């Protein structure tokens, strides 16, 4: 394929009879350009079908129109909906979203956030747990070096960053109330590490206690992975064979739980109910089909973009915390409770 030669900024300048710098100025929307010359540049742009490249605009101004997103792990798919929401919110803008993960780059001397700084991203969405080193990198004398929004419930705080998260406590309550409304009383919770998991666990314990039920929490190895959900479910059923329902800290753990139940012939229909959290693509797949709490990932992404653009435009504006209301999504992994013998 031969690329067709597209008009450059020089062509526009020549056609309009102005300097390249003046065209740049017009593109940046800069003041100090007379209406007449602005119109001349505009009509030259229209006549030539000139499309300023992001690279050229970035060189002219100081924006790269790139938003960096830092995630924990690509295999935990909850971030996919968030990215979709960000992309949708950015429709019609020139921005694009770039992702880096902490797990993949864990052994790097150079952290992904440094790469983002090197790329001169306009802003950062932190969708991972900030460790002290990361906080250190992102702040200088207690102030953020780059406009940042924290997405999702995090155990650590990042001073000066806006926060957009789903209300985990309300979500956990929705899950427990759903299971109670189906007649379950022996409802166990599978959990692991991380700020989100801690909030979901707290919500579970409050909801159970308020309903006059005894909470029983099972914690696998640290990570809230499919494999740990699988193992924790086997352990749980050995310890508490009377369990009729399981609320897992996320969909990955819930998928592992369903795998363990299918193996024991105890899955739905007719068996033990499972509720996850996140509404990940895996939970939505026909094979797995898990009742879950939607973390409203695309809304969180859209709100995060709005908060970030606001902060980029006005770095000094007051920091905000926005909680998005979660939703129950009923699928086939939960059903009526009955006492198993």
Partner 1 sequence: MEGSATPPTGASRAPARRTTIYDVAAAAGVSKSLVSLVLQGSPRVSPARRDAVQKAMSELNYRPSRAASALAGHRSRTIGVVVDDFRNLWFVDLLDGMREVFEPLGLTVTVADSAHESEGGLRVIDNFVASKADAIVIACEPTEAMTVAQDIPIVIAGNRAVTIPRASVIASDDARGARLATRHLIDLGHIRIGHVTGDGGSAALRSSSYEATMLEAGLVPLVTRGSGRTNEPDGFLATRRLLEDDVRVTAVFAANDTMALGALAAIHDAGRRVPEDVSLIGYDNSPLASSEILRLTTIEDNSRDVGRLVAQTVDAALEGRESSDLALVEPRLVARSSTGVPIRS
By the criterion CB under 8 A, which residues form the site for partner 1?
A: 1, 3, 53-55, 57-59, 64-66, 68, 74-75, 77, 79-80, 83-84, 87-88, 91, 94-100, 104-105, 107-112, 114-121, 137, 140, 145-146, 226-227, 230, 255-256, 258-260, 262, 281-282, 285-288
Nearer to partner 1, 138 or 164 (CB): 138
Q: Which of 312, 303, 304 is nearest to 125 (CA)?
A: 304
What is the helix (H) or strand (E) element at residue 36, kind and residue range? Answer: helix 35-48
CB 282 within 8 A of CB 205: no
Q: Output DSSP code: residue 295.
A: -
Q: How far is the CB of 118 from partner 1 (least distance, A)?
A: 3
Nearer to partner 1, 297 or 335 (CB): 297
Nearer to partner 1, 3 or 212 (CB): 3
Q: How many helices (H) and strands (E) does the chain have?
A: 13, 14
The full DSSP string for 136-175 is HHHEETTEESS-EEEES--SS--TT-EEEEE-HHHHHHHH
Tokens of 130: 């900030």
Q: How far is the CB of 252 from partner 1 (least distance, A)?
A: 9
Q: How far is the CB of 119 from partner 1 (least distance, A)?
A: 4
CB 65 within 8 A of CB 54: yes
Nearer to partner 1, 214 or 287 (CB): 287
Nearer to partner 1, 1 or 313 (CB): 1
Q: Report the distance separating Cα 230 and Cα 332, nearest Å.
A: 18
Three-state secondary structure call for residue 134: helix
Nearer to partner 1, 99 or 329 (CB): 99
- Beta strand pairing call for 321-324 and 162-166: parallel
Nearer to partner 1, 186 or 253 (CB): 253
Q: How far is the CB of 314 from partner 1 (least distance, A)?
A: 17
Please calculate the CA angle 111-114-119 and round it to the nearest 5 degrees: 135
Q: How far is the CB of 179 from partner 1 (least distance, A)?
A: 21
What is the helix (H) or strand (E) element at residue 323, kind and residue range? Answer: strand 321-324
Q: How far is the CB of 88 from partner 1 (least distance, A)?
A: 7
Nearer to partner 1, 30 or 281 (CB): 281
Q: How far is the CB of 148 from partner 1 (least distance, A)?
A: 13
Burial code (b: 16+ CB inside 10 Å, e: under 16) for 87-107 equals bebbeeeebebeebbbeebee
Biggest alpha carbon–alpha carbon distance for the chain:
88
Q: How far is the CB of 84 from partner 1 (least distance, A)?
A: 6
């Amino acid at each position: 394929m031969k690329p067709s030669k597209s008009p450059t900024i020089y062509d526009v300048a020549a056609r309009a009879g102005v300097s390249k710098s003046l065209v740049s100025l017009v593109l940046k929307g800069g003041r100090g350009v007379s209406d007449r010359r602005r119109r001349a540049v505009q009509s030259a742009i229209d006549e030539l079908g000139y499309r300023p490249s992001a690279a050229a605009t970035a060189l002219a101004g100081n924006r790269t129109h790139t938003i960096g997103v830092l995630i924990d792990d690509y295999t935990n798919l909850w971030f996919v909906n968030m990215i979709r929401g960000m992309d949708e919110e950015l429709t019609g803008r020139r921005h694009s979203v770039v992702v880096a993960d902490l797990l993949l780059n864990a052994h790097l001397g150079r952290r992904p956030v440094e790469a983002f700084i090197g790329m001169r991203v306009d802003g950062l969405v932190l969708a991972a747990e900030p460790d002290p080193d990361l906080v250190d990198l992102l702040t200088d004398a207690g102030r953020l070096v780059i406009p940042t929004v924290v997405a999702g419930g995090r155990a650590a705080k990042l001073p000066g960053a806006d926060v957009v998260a789903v209300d985990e406590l309300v979500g956990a309550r929705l899950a427990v109330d759903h299971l109670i409304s189906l007649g379950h009383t022996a409802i166990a919770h599978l959990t692991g590490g991380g700020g989100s998991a801690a909030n979901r666990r707290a919500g579970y314990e409050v909801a159970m206690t308020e309903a006059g039920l005894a909470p029983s929490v099972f914690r696998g190895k640290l990570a809230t992975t499919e494999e740990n959900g699988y193992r924790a479910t086997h352990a749980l059923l050995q310890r508490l064979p009377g369990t009729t329902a399981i609320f897992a800290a996320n969909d990955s753990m819930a998928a592992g739980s369903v795998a363990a139940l299918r193996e024991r012939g105890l899955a739905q229909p007719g068996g033990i109910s499972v509720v996850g959290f996140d509404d990940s693509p895996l939970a939505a797949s026909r094979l797995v089909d898990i009742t879950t709490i939607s973390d409203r990932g695309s809304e969180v992404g859209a709100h995060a973009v709005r908060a970030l653009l606001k902060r980029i435009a006005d770095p000094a504006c007051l920091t905000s915390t926005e909680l998005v209301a979660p939703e129950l999504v009923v699928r086939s992994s939960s059903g009526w409770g009955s006492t198993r013998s």
